[in-house]
Amino acid sequence: MLERVLLLTLLLSFLIAVLLSPIFIPFLRRLKFGQSIREEGPKSHQKKTGTPTMGGIIIVLSILVTTVFISTRFLSFSQEILLLLLVTVGFGLVGFLDDFIKVVLKRNLGLTSKQKLAGQLLISILFYIGLIQMDISTAITIPATGFSIELGWLYLPLVIIMLVGASNAVNLTDGLDGLLAGTGAIAFGAFAILAWHADLIDVSIFSAAIVGSVLGFLVFNAHPAKVFMGDTGSLALGGAIAAIAIMTKMEILLVIIGGVFVIETLSVIIQVISFKTRGKRIFKMSPLHHHYELSGWSEWRVVVTFWFVGMIFAVIGIYLEVWL
């Protein structure tokens, strides 16, 4: 029975995203919610100027509708589901405001870094308060060892670092057609499996809803993209995957399963440090996916390669948790 519910969740979220996209894409285009392309980026990207952005609305709506329907119809609307939706919708709202200011109000920088951080911190603290009310453990476990470390009050800064860090890391990965949608589907799929294995059905259902939503979005976001998810989608997905890792008590596994997001972030950090200290760039451009583009790889080759790497990280994460 529960297996069928999981499959229904996946199919329903996929269907909602696929049906919503042809409605929202022309709507976003009429409102002139078009993407501005960085002039210093790959020249091939200039033709993408004007492609509708803020498509993350489609993803968030699909996740929200599917999760509420499935949880109320077949399970129960638990506090776990409420907290996961709080983070996803909350971070999505921060991303929406950022997109809206950049695209509609024509302020290229969107929200200031302090404003964005303030929104992320508020949602992270609310999420932590909810966790404490659930009496969740404040210990973290080292994968494949069974060894755990009790953090106590230090668990709060860990939660904040994970949520804010993951949302920004996922945001950096959203730079090529289908890149984030594909790697995101793989990472959330891994957590859906792990949550199911740990008998955390609500979390597994939520993860499956995200997988279906991003795959449905990918139908229109694959190269050549008809719509971009924008910060609305990337911040929502980043917050969601960190919240899932925390809820399943697989905090450290997030670094492994989200390995692509970690590498993309490290490439930016390394590039900045190298340029500021040595006056030289390590990569032709960061995040890393642009380096490979400027090295002569086609956009589709970069995306598929990163999908494959993401799959390897996901398999490693599942192996460490389930079989060791």
Q: What is the pLDDT of residues 198-231, one digit of tens each?
A: 999 999 999 999 999 999 999 999 989 999 999 9
Residue 60, pLDDT score:
98
pLDDT tops 70 at residue 32: no
In a domain, 244, yes or no: yes
Question: Does 297 reside within a domain?
Answer: no
Contact criterion met (CB below 8 Å) for 233 and 91 = no
β-pair partners for 141: 148
Q: What does the DSSP 8-state code read for residue 148? A: E
Amino acid present at 197: H
Measured distance between the N- and C-terminal CA atoms of the chain, rounded to whole angstroms: 28
CA distance linking residue 220 with residue 233, whole number of Å: 14
Residue 41 exposed, middle or buried by CB count within 10 Å (0-12, 13-18, 19+) = middle
Within-domain flag for 80: yes
Q: Which domain holds residue 75?
A: 1-139+148-252
| pLDDT on residue 27 | 86
Quick check: is 36 in a domain? yes
108 annotated as ligand-binding: no
- Go through the chain and tell me how many residues it has: 324
- Please tell me the predicted confidence (pLDDT) of residue 171: 96
Q: What is the pLDDT of residues 126-136, one digit of tens each?
A: 999 999 999 89
Q: Residue 113 — very low, low, confident or very high, per pLDDT cuts 50/70/90?
A: confident
Q: pLDDT at residue 124 above 70?
A: yes
Total structural domains within the chain = 1
- Sign of torsion over alpha carbons 166, 315, 211, 9: negative
Give per-residue pLDDT as tens, 261-278: 999 999 999 999 999 999
Q: How far is residue 113's CA from residue 9's CA, in Å, rounded to a whole number?
A: 36
Please answer whether residues 186 and 311 qualify as being in contact, where contact means their C-beta atoms are separated by less than 8 angstroms. Answer: yes
Residue 272 lies in a domain: no
Q: Which long-range contacts (CB under 8 A, 24 or more apart) does 61-65 make?
A: 61/16, 61/20, 62/13, 62/16, 62/17, 62/20, 62/209, 62/212, 62/213, 62/216, 62/217, 63/13, 63/88, 63/206, 63/209, 63/210, 63/213, 63/236, 63/240, 64/88, 64/89, 65/16
Name the nearest CA neighbour of 302 among 175, 185, 141: 175
Determine whether the annotation assigns residue 99 to a binding site. Answer: no
Omega prior to 157 cis, within 30 of 0: no
Give the residue from 104, 106, 105, 154 showing the smallest Cα distance to 128: 154
Q: Please check whether residue 122 lies inside any domain of the structure.
A: yes
Q: What whole-number distance in Å separates Cα of residue 155 and Cα of residue 158?
A: 5
Residue 10 corresponds to which tokens in the numbers above? Answer: 């996946």
